[in-house]
Amino acid sequence: MLLDAVIIVLRETLEAGVLVSVLLTIANQHQLGLRWLMLAFMGGLMGAVIYARNMGLVSSWFEYVGQEVLNGLIQYSIYLCLLFICLLVSSRLSIKSRVLMCLLTLTVALALIREATEIMIFFSGFIGNSDVLSKAVTSGFIGLMIGLSVGALCYFSIMSLKRRWIRPTQIVVLALVGAGMVAQATQLLIQADWLSSVAPLWDTRNILPEASIPGQLAYAIFGYEATPTPLEAWLFLGALLSIPLAIVLWRSVSNNNKSNSAVDQEIPQ
C-alpha cells in the first residue's frame, strides 16, 4: 500500500465528500431528487478530464501561474455559490427550487473539477509502471472509501438532527467549508504573486504541521495553514461571517418589503 496515495486521494475527496453530503441534505429537504447530482458528476468529471489533459497549456497562462490562478478562481466561485445557496435556503422565494438546483449542480461540478483533476494528475505519474500503478490505485481506493464514508456520516448525522437544527447546521458547515476554500484560493493567488505576501500572522507548525496527516486533512476541509498571512486570516474570517450576515440582511430587507406591502394595502385608494 502506498500511504501517499491514500493521503492524497483522501485529502482531495474529504472536502468534496463533506460538501456534497451537506448539499444532499438540502436537496432532500426541498425534494429535488438526484438528477442534479448525476448532471453535476457528469459535468465535473468531463471538466476534470479536459483540465487534466490540458494542464500544460493551463500552467503556461498568466506567466506560468495559470494552474494556481484557475484553481483559486474555481474555489472563489464555489464560495459564491455556497453563499447564494445559504440565502435561498433561508428564504421563502417561490422560484428558489429551480435556482437552488442549478446552484447545487454548479457547486458540485466545480468541486469535482478541482478535486478530480488533482487525483488524475497524481495517478498519471504512475502510468508505465504497472506494479506501482496497481498499488497506487488500490491505495487511492482506500482513501476514496474513507472520504466517502466521512461524507455519508456527515449526511446521516445532519438528517438525524431535530428539524429546527438542520438548517442552522447546514449553514454553519457550508460557511466553514466555504471559508476554507477562500483561504485555499488566497494561498494560491499569493503563490502566484497575484496577492502580496507579508510576514505570517502566527506559526503553528510545532502544534500542527501542514505536512502531517491531520494537517493535510485540516487543509482539505478548512484551508488550514500553519503560517497564514494577515490577508489570509482576514479573508477567512470575512468569508466565514459573510454568510450569516448576508442571511440576516436578506431577512431584514424581506421583512421590510413585506411590511411596506402590508401598509400599502391598508391605505385607501
Residue 264 lies in a domain: no
What pLDDT, in 10s, does the model give residues 37-86?
A: 999 999 999 999 999 999 999 999 999 999 999 999 999 999 999 999 99
Amino acid 97: pLDDT? 81
Domain holding 209, by residue range, is 3-256
The DSSP annotation for 220-242 comes to: HHH---SS--HHHHHHHHHHHHH
- Let me know how long the chain is: 269
Residue 73 CA, chain-centre distance (Å), reads 12
Amino acid 223: pLDDT? 75
Asked if 14 contacts 217 with a C-beta cutoff of 8 angstroms, the reply is: yes
Residue 262 lies in a domain: no
Residue 134 lies in a domain: yes
The total number of structural domains that make up the chain: 1
Residue 24 lies in a domain: yes
Residues of the chain with pLDDT under 70: 1-2, 92-95, 254-269
How far lies 103's CA from each of 39, 45, 59, 77, 110, in Å?
12, 17, 28, 11, 11
Amino acid 199: pLDDT? 83
Residue 147 lies in a domain: yes
CATH classification of the domain holding 245: 1.20.1250
